[in-house]
Chains A and B, each alone.
Chain A
Amino acid sequence: MGREVSESCIDALITEMVSSYCNRFYVNKPEVSARRIEAIGYQVGIQLSERYTVERPRFSEHLEAIKFICKEFWSELFKKQIDNLKTNHKGTFVLQDNRFQWLTHMSINASAETTDSSQQEPHSPNSTTLDANLLQATSMHLYFPCGIIRGALSNLGIPCAVSADASNLPACSFVIRIKA
C-alpha cells in the first residue's frame, strides 16, 4: 500500500503503550502488564504475518517458517534481517539481531558520571535495586516484539513460546521454543 510514517511514530507509540500499562493501568502488577503488552504484540504479529504471506505456499517445515521470520518478515519491519540464527534441532531457535531497532535509543544509567563527587560510591546500597528496576523496565519493552513473533508463527500454524534477552544493548536475542 506504499503509505509511510516516520519511525518516531511507531517508537513513540510503543514507548507510551508500555509505559501506560506499567505505570498507569496495572501499577505494581508487572506480570499483568507483561501479558497485556504481549497480547497486543500477538495480535499485530498475526495480522502482519497474514499480510506478508499472501500468495505464498504453506511452509512444510518449521525451519522454513523460522527462516521466513528471520528474512522477509524482519526486513519488512526493520529493513534488515536477523543477524544470526541458531537451533538445537529439537524445536528451540535463537534469533539474534545485533542492533535491534527498538533498543537503539535505549540506555541506562552510567552512575558515576553525575555531578556531585561526594556521591561517587560505585556500589551504593541502592544501586542493585535500581538496576533491577531498570532491568525490569527494559524487559517490559521486549514483550511486544516477543508477542509479534509468537503471533506471526501461530498464524503459520506453529504454536510456540517466545522470550528475549537484551542484556547486551542494543543487541537482542529472541528464543523460540516450539510446542510439540
Chain B
Amino acid sequence: MQFFGGTSEVTLSPSVPSSIGTGPLGSNAYMLYLFNRNGVCLLYKEWHRPLKTLDSNQDQKLMFGLLFSLKSFTAKMDPTRVEKGNLGVPLLPGEGCSFHCFRTNTYKLSFMESPSGIKIILVTHPKSKDHRENLRYIYNLYVGNVVKNPLYVPGTAIKCELFNTSLDQYIQTSI
C-alpha cells in the first residue's frame, strides 16, 4: 500500500487549482464516511466527486487503511511522549496522540474518532474551515437518529431516512 505517494502532498497552505468546484448548493462537502470499530463502513455519502476510479468496497477499505496507518504514524512521530509503541504494533483506541485533519492542494480530510471506535471522515474543499465541531455534531446526529432508532441493528449499513435527511440538510447548510 502506498499512502503518501502519488500526486497528493501534505502541506499547510496549499495552493488551490482553479478547477476545483464545490458541491451542490455551494456546500464545501465532497464526501463522508462513517466506520464502526470493526472497520465496517456503516455509511458512505458523496456530494461532489467527479472522479470515481474504484469500486466502493475497495474505496472504503483504502480510506480505512489510510486512517489506520496515519494514526499509527502520527503517534509514532509524536515528539512529546516517552512511551510509544513500535510502528505497526496495534494501539489501544484513544491511545497516543490523534490527528484531526490533513490537507492536500485539492481536498481536505477531517477526522474524528469516538472512544467506542466510531470514525467519521469528512472530505471537503481544501480551503474549508476547521470541522471538529461539525464532526461532533454529526456524531450526535448518528446517536439520535441511528443508534436510538429501534429498527436499526448495530453494525449494519445505515439506511435510516431520518438520519439521511438531517445529515444532508446539515451538510448543505453548515459545511
Contacts and interface: CB of A to CB of B under 8 A. Distances in A.
Contact count band on B? 10 to 19
Contact of A18 (B56, B150, B165): B150
B145 interface: yes
Contacts of A150: none
Given A115-B56, A116-B56, A109 B161 contact: yes
B159 A114 contact: yes
Contacts of A105: 144-145, 148-150, 162
A18 B153 CA distance: 13
Contact of A110 (B151, B157, B165): B165
Interface in A52-74: none
Contact of B161 (A107, A138, A141): A107
A19 B144 CA distance: 19
B56 A108 contact: no
A11 B151 contact: no
Contacts, number: 51
Nearest to B149: A105
Contact of A113 (B144, B148, B150, B164): B164
Interface in B145-175: 145, 148-151, 157, 159-165
Interface in A67-117: 102, 105-111, 113-116
B161 A108 contact: yes
Interface residues of A, number: 22
A144 B157 CA distance: 27
A134 B56 contact: no
Interface in A1-22: 8, 11, 14-15, 18-19
Contacts of B165: 110
A32 interface: no
B44 interface: yes
Give the residue among A8, A106, A111 with the most B Cβ atoms within 10 A: A106
A15 B151 CA distance: 8
Interface in B43-95: 44-46, 56
Nearest to A12: B148
A27 interface: no
Interface pairs A-B: 6 shortest CB-CB: A107-B162, A109-B159, A110-B161, A15-B150, A105-B148, A107-B161
24 contacts: A8-B148, A11-B148, A105-B144, A105-B145, A105-B149, A105-B150, A105-B162, A106-B150, A107-B149, A107-B160, A107-B161, A107-B162, A107-B163, A108-B151, A110-B159, A110-B161, A110-B165, A113-B45, A113-B161, A114-B159, A115-B56, A116-B56, A134-B151, A138-B151
Interface of B: 44-46, 56, 144-145, 148-151, 157, 159-165
